[in-house]
């Protein structure tokens, strides 16, 4: 490895300091460093490069994020295939940033010597199309979410799967989640936990009007198309909780599996089930 991209949560002094120390160590090993624009203002040294977050993985051999799941998501969803990502958690344990500060040095050495384990996580392509404008496409690692505005009444959404009508949901919104994102907003909305390497997608209504409108798990080779049926209603599409914009009845939102995956470096000391038990506090308060 010759080049490392670094992104730190700049509002966290601990994250910035660990990123600074790490960058110094890597420079001494002859590696070039690239920072995202916000991190560069705090950490950049002569010879370092500054890149937009969307480009941080396109000219580097490794990405390291210091912060939480949001910090990792802001970079990882744009990362190209094959570039490993180390997500260092600077607060409470995250579902994505599972590398603790205490184990980071060991994990980094494993990665630099090519002795690490990583999981390829599925991403989804989300396209927004309308007859009178060019189709726009986005990539998500967690989810695409349709939400009503704060003061609006519930929205009615028509769902087609592979061109076939599934149902019309009346709800506060709808989540289409990857397996990785199943432990994010999907879980809060009552959706199921899906093992992160499964080939599946989850459709979960948010506060549905009908109790019979339940989450549904589909194979991810199917495409899901969502149309808004409600007139004069403010509806927003949010992508990985990172960016969003309003959509109307004229828009069609289509979610499909992306050909690109995200490579997340795994902790050598704990499994996905360890993370679940810790985050969800399973087993606490039991009689033994």
The b-or-e profile of 80-111 (16+ CB within 10 A means b, else e) is eeebbbbbbbbeebbbbbbbeeebbeebbebb
Catalytic option among 36, 69, 240, 251: 69
Burial of residue 141 (CB within 10 Å: 0-12, 13-18, 19+) is: buried
Backbone φ and ψ of 181, nearest 5°: -80, 0
Token pair listed for 285? 């308060």
Annotation says 106 is catalytic: no
> Contact, 30 vs 44, CB < 8 A?
no
**Distance (Å, rounded) from C-alpha 87 to C-alpha 69?**
8
**Distance (Å, rounded) from C-alpha 198 to C-alpha 118?**
15
Query: Terminal CA-to-CA distance of the chain, rounded, Å?
Result: 49
CB atoms within 10 A of CB 194: 21
Q: What positions carry a catalytic annotation?
A: 69
């Amino acid at each position: 490895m010759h080049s490392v991209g670094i992104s730190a949560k700049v509002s966290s002094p601990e994250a910035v300091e660990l990123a600074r120390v790490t960058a110094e160590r890597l420079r001494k090993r002859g590696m070039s460093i690239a920072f995202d624009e916000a991190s560069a203002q705090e950490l950049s040294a002569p010879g370092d490069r500054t890149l937009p977050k969307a480009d941080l993985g396109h000219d580097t051999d490794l990405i390291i994020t210091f912060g939480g799941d949001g910090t990792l998501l802001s970079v990882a969803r744009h990362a190209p295939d094959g570039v490993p990502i180390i997500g260092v958690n600077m607060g409470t344990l995250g579902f994505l940033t599972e590398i603790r500060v205490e184990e980071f040095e060991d994990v980094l050495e494993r990665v630099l010597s090519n002795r690490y384990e990583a999981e390829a996580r599925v991403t989804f392509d989300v396209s927004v199309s309308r007859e009178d404008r060019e189709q726009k496409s986005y990539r998500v690692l967690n989810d695409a979410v349709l939400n009503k505005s704060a003061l609006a009444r519930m929205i009615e959404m028509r769902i087609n799967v592979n061109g076939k009508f599934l149902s019309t949901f009346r709800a506060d919104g709808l989540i289409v989640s990857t397996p990785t994102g199943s432990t994010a907003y999907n879980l809060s909305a009552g959706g199921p936990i899906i093992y992160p390497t499964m080939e599946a997608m989850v459709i979960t209504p948010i506060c549905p009007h009908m109790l019979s409108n339940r989450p549904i798990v589909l194979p991810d080779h199917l495409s899901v198309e969502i149309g808004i049926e409600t007139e004069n209603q403010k509806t927003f599409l949010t992508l990985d909780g990172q960016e969003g914009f309003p959509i109307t009845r004229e828009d069609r939102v289509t979610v499909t599996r992306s050909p690109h995956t995200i490579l997340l470096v795994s902790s050598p000391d704990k499994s996905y089930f360890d993370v679940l038990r810790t985050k969800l506090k399973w087993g606490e308060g039991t009689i033994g």
